[in-house]
Every structure is written in C-alpha cells, then in structure tokens.
C-alpha cells in the first residue's frame, strides 16, 4: 500500500475523492484529471463486499429472479389456502406437485433470461411458465373439489343411515314401557294461566326460562332413567336368602334412626334415599352381622353425603352420633368395602328422582300449585323406605303411586289420575293399583307402627301437618 501511494503521488494523481475545487487547482497546475477508473478506491473488508446490494451479478440476474420469486410465492400461498379450505390430506399432494412443477418452470425461465440479451424475451418465458402452472393448478383444484363434494355426500348419507339405526335402537330399548292409550292425544303448551282441559296433555317442559329445569333434555333424561332403574336394583328377598343374623325389623329400626340423623344434620332428602339404596344394595350380596349393621348404616350415609351434599358431615361426626361405638378407622374400612363392591357407581335413580318429575306434572293440572300435594307425596314416598316389602316395586312405580294417593287424599271430587300424569309417568292407573293399596295401608297404620321418625317429621307445621291426613277408601273406578 505504501508503494502504490507513492507512485500515485509521483504522477500527480489525487489519492482521495475528486471535488470541483481540486479539479480546478489541478488544471491550473497544468495536470490532467484522471479518469474514474484511475482513482484509487478506499479498501473494503470482505464482509462489506458480501453485503453490497449493487454487485454486477445481482443487477444482471435481478429481473429473472424477481419473476421467479413472485411465481413461487404465489404458488405456495395458493396451495396453503387450498389445504386450509378443504381440510383434507388428499389436497396436499397435488399442491406439492404443482409447487415442484412451478419451481422447475421458474428455473427454466431464469436460465432463458440469462441466455437472451433482450430483456423483453427474458420476461416472456417466465410469464408463459406462470400461466401454465396456474392453469394446471386450477384444473387440479377443480377435480379435487368435485372429489371432496362426492366424499361429503357419501358421509352425509352414512350419517343419515346411522341416525336411522339409532332411532331403531332407541325404539327397541324403550320397548319395555307400557303401551299408552294417549298416543293420539294432542300436547299443548302450558302457560301460567293454562291447565288441563279435555283430552289435551299439558306440556310441562315448555318453560325454557329456567336452565336448571333442563326442559330441552328432560324427556330424554327421564327415558334414560327409566331404563337405568332396571339395571342395578337391590334384591327384594335378600333377608330370606342371604341374611340370617338380621331381620326386617332391624332394617326398619336402622332406617328410622337414619331419618333422625338426617334431620339432625339437615341433610337433603336425596341423601336419605341414596343411603337406603346403598344399604339394600350392599345387603343383597354381602352377609353382615347384627353388631355391624349400624356401622353399615352410618357408612352408607357418609358415602351418600359426599355424593349429594355441598358440605358433608365429617367422619368424626358420624362416629359421635353412634356414641363412639365405632372408631374412625372402622368407618373408613367399611367405606372402602362398600364402594369397592358398588364399583363407585352412585348415579342411580331413586324414588325422589322420579317424584320431582311426577309432581311437576301433577301441579300443572292446577291453576295454583298446591304445596300440600308435594308434602304429602314426599311423606308417603318416605314411608316406603322403612317397609322392606316395597323393595319389590320399582322406584318410578312408588313415586307415581304416591302422587295418585296424595291427589286422592286431598280431593276426592276429581279424578286423581289423568292423561297428563299418564303421559309423563308412562303408567296407567290400573298399573298402580297394587302399589297404591299397599301404600294406603302403610299410611293408615300410623298407630300400630312403632317407627315414628318420618311421621313426627311430617307432623311439623312447615310441612303443613300432612302426616295427620288420612285418605278415604279408594274407589274401583279410579283404576278402570
């Protein structure tokens, strides 16, 4: 570098950038202005040369590469949009083929652009390849769309066939229901001022304002519950076949005491019904000694409380209620045995489950809801928990019979069973005759029964003293 600078200085050539003032001074001294190629350029680092945007090779190949990059970008975006819209793996393969073909045409266009001296011809070749690729993509996409539509039509037809099969299966599953004589009756909407008139059936699910009523799904839910009550039923004769150390009276005493416990801890009625179900279900297949019967009772109420209650009583409280007859460890061991036997399947329909639905249908027949009807029906239903003989009846049958007897007890001037109740219970009055007569006998046997926990409960004023009511003799015309 020093030798080159000294040589340049000897010839009088400027070593920096030529300005007007230096050029004028150079002419005044009689020298010649060197050409731009002779002017020494400042030395640059190799990294800076690689970042130069004005290289001769880039300028020569810029039109062809620009055209190629534009076509490649368009092809990729087009293929991605097709994949997203069709949402099928079949359309990814044609898109990849079109993209590879387009890239080959881009390379062909670039090579032609480098060989031709005319800039116009160098742009026509890539343009022609772009047009060919777009036409090919359009044809391929059209074929793919037709195949997709045909596939969608096949899937829709398959879904329709599946729906037909499901309808047939649903019909077969509900074949155990009784034949209804009201199939031709008209179902009308029930308003607050409306009621049961003639042969019309009140629609108790017409109110969609309360989401807790699940009015849209109520019919399907109770159809499923009607089938579920037939599956895991307690044995109606486990006392005679399996249990030899306990009796029906001991079972009644235990449940009567559990009613008092539920009142002491203010448990919801669903907890009591589920407790009795778990007890009978466990006793149906497991032998137990009489000294452990109370342990089974408090354990089943603990399990039911955990399932139904928001704030369930603690284990220590159930031990305390037994006067510490059983320890916490014994209760936990029994809880494990019961749950393992049940397989942790506690979602079962009880009498209370159906009673809510049937009472809603019964209240729809009145212009003003009768609170006494609900209290009396619940009282009659709870009486059946103590009596071992009612295990042979389905929970839905007991709930429907309690509603019929409650209506008859409160008002003998009107028919206690109508088409609305027949529609929502799926039972005719004749189907309930045996259960209603047994329930009336249980209601009238208040003086001879020593188990009075339920009767004392419903003699309170908050239940309108429905336990003090008696029903007159049932007429044969009710069950016709």
**Residue 312 belongs to some domain of the structure:** yes
- Predicted confidence at residue 1, as pLDDT, reads 45
- Predicted confidence at residue 141, as pLDDT, reads 61
Confidence of residue 375 (pLDDT cuts 50, 70, 90): very high
- How many degrees, rounded to 5, is the angle at CA 259 between CA 234 and CA 411? 90
Residues 394, 354 contacting (CB under 8 angstroms): no
Residues 377, 410 contacting (CB under 8 angstroms): no
d(C-alpha 19, C-alpha 142), whole Å: 66
**Residue 195 belongs to some domain of the structure:** no
If one compares 329 and 55, the residue with the highest pLDDT of the two is: 329
Residues 225, 349 contacting (CB under 8 angstroms): yes
Q: What is the CA 480 to chain-centroid distance, rounded? A: 44
- Predicted confidence at residue 106, as pLDDT, reads 44
Residues 6+ apart with CB under 8 A from 480: 429, 430
Domain boundary among the residues 282, 312, 342 is at: 342
Orientation angle between helical segments 293-308 and 248-264, nearest 10 degrees: 40
Do 281 and 367 lie in a common domain? no
Q: Which helix (H) or strand (E) holds 201?
A: strand 201-203
- Predicted confidence at residue 17, as pLDDT, reads 61
Confidence of residue 189 (pLDDT cuts 50, 70, 90): very low
Domain span holding position 269:
238-342
d(C-alpha 397, C-alpha 471), whole Å: 19
If one compares 121 and 479, the residue with the highest pLDDT of the two is: 479
d(C-alpha 176, C-alpha 229), whole Å: 12
Whether residue 4 has pLDDT greater than 60: no
- Predicted confidence at residue 199, as pLDDT, reads 59
**Number of folded domains that form the chain:** 4
Confidence of residue 318 (pLDDT cuts 50, 70, 90): very high
d(C-alpha 398, C-alpha 381), whole Å: 7
Report pLDDT digits (tens) over 242-276.
999 999 999 999 999 999 999 999 999 999 999 99
Domain boundary among the residues 132, 157, 182 is at: 157
Q: Work out the average pLDDT over 27-40.
A: 55
Domain boundary among the residues 342, 372, 387 is at: 342
Residues 82, 141 contacting (CB under 8 angstroms): yes
- Predicted confidence at residue 206, as pLDDT, reads 83
If one compares 292 and 72, the residue with the highest pLDDT of the two is: 292
Model pTM score: 0.61
Do 371 and 472 lie in a common domain? yes
- Predicted confidence at residue 429, as pLDDT, reads 93
Q: Work out the average pLDDT over 348-353.
A: 95
* Bridge partner residues of 189 (DSSP): 203
Radius of gyration of the chain, Cα coordinates, nearest whole angstrom = 45
Residues 405, 475 contacting (CB under 8 angstroms): no
d(C-alpha 69, C-alpha 291), whole Å: 89
| DSSP per residue, 261-301 | HHHHTT--HHHHHHHHHHHHHHHTT----GGGHHHHHHHHH
Do 358 and 474 lie in a common domain? yes
**CA-CA-CA-CA torsion sign (191, 195, 200, 204):** positive
**Residue 143 belongs to some domain of the structure:** yes
Whether residue 348 has pLDDT greater than 90: yes
Quick one: which of 159, 130, 150, 157 has its CA closest to 86?
150
The burial class, CB within 10 Å (0-12 / 13-18 / 19+), for 162 is: exposed
d(C-alpha 386, C-alpha 398), whole Å: 13
**Residue 333 belongs to some domain of the structure:** yes
d(C-alpha 402, C-alpha 395), whole Å: 11
**Residue 390 belongs to some domain of the structure:** yes
**Residue 55 belongs to some domain of the structure:** no
Report pLDDT digits (tens) over 98-148.
444 445 554 445 454 445 444 444 444 444 444 455 555 555 665 566 665
**Residue 125 belongs to some domain of the structure:** yes
Do 22 and 103 lie in a common domain? no
Do 337 and 451 lie in a common domain? no
């Amino acid at each position: 570098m020093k030798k080159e600078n000294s040589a340049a200085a000897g010839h009088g050539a400027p070593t920096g950038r030529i300005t007007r003032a230096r050029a004028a001074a150079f002419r005044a001294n009689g020298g010649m202005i060197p050409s731009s190629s002779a002017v020494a350029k400042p030395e640059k680092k190799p990294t800076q040369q690689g970042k130069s945007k004005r290289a001769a090779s880039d300028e020569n190949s810029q039109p062809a590469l620009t055209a190629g990059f534009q076509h490649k970008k368009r092809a990729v975006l087009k293929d991605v949009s097709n994949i997203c819209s069709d949402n099928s793996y079949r359309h990814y393969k044609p898109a990849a083929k079109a993209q590879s073909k387009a890239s080959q045409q881009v390379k062909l266009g670039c090579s032609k652009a480098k060989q031709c001296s005319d800039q116009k011809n160098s742009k026509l070749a890539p343009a022609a390849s772009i047009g060919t690729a777009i036409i090919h993509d359009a044809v391929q996409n059209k074929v793919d769309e037709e195949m997709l539509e045909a596939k969608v039509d096949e899937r829709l037809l398959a879904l329709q066939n599946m729906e037909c099969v499901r309808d047939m299966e649903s019909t077969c599953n509900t074949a155990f229901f009784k034949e209804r004589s009201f199939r031709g009756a008209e179902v009308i909407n029930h308003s607050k001022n409306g009621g049961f008139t003639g042969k019309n059936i009140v629609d108790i699910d017409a109110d969609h304002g309360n989401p807790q009523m699940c009015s849209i799904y109520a019919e399907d839910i109770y159809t499923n519950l009607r089938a579920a009550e037939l599956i895991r039923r307690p044995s109606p004769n486990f006392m005679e076949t399996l249990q030899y150390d306990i009796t029906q009276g001991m079972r009644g005493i235990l449940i009567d005491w559990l009613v008092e416990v539920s009142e002491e801890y203010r448990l919801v009625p669903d907890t009591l019904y589920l407790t009795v179900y778990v007890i009978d279900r466990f006793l149906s297949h497991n032998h137990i000694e009489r000294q452990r019967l109370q342990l089974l009772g408090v354990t089943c109420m603990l399990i039911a409380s955990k399932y139904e209650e928001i704030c369930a009583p603690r284990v220590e409280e159930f031990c305390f209620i037994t006067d510490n007859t059983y320890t916490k460890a014994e209760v936990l061991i029994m809880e494990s045995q019961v749950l393992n036997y049940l397989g942790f399947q506690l979602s079962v329909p009880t009498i209370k489950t159906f009673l809510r639905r049937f009472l809603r249908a019964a209240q729809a027949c009145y212009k003003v809801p009768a609170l006494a009807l609900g209290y009396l029906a619940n009282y009659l239903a709870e009486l059946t928990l103590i009596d071992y003989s009612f295990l042979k009846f389905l929970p839905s049958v007991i709930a429907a019979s309690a509603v019929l007897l409650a209506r008859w007890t409160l008002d003998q001037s009107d028919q206690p069973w109508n088409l609305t109740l027949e529609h929502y219970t799926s039972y005719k009055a004749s189907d309930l005759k045996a259960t209603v007569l047994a329930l009336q006998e249980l209601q009238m046997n208040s003086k001879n029964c020593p188990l009075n926990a339920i009767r004392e409960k419903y003699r309170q004023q908050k239940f309108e003293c429905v336990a003090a009511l008696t029903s007159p003799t049932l007429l044969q015309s009710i069950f016709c």
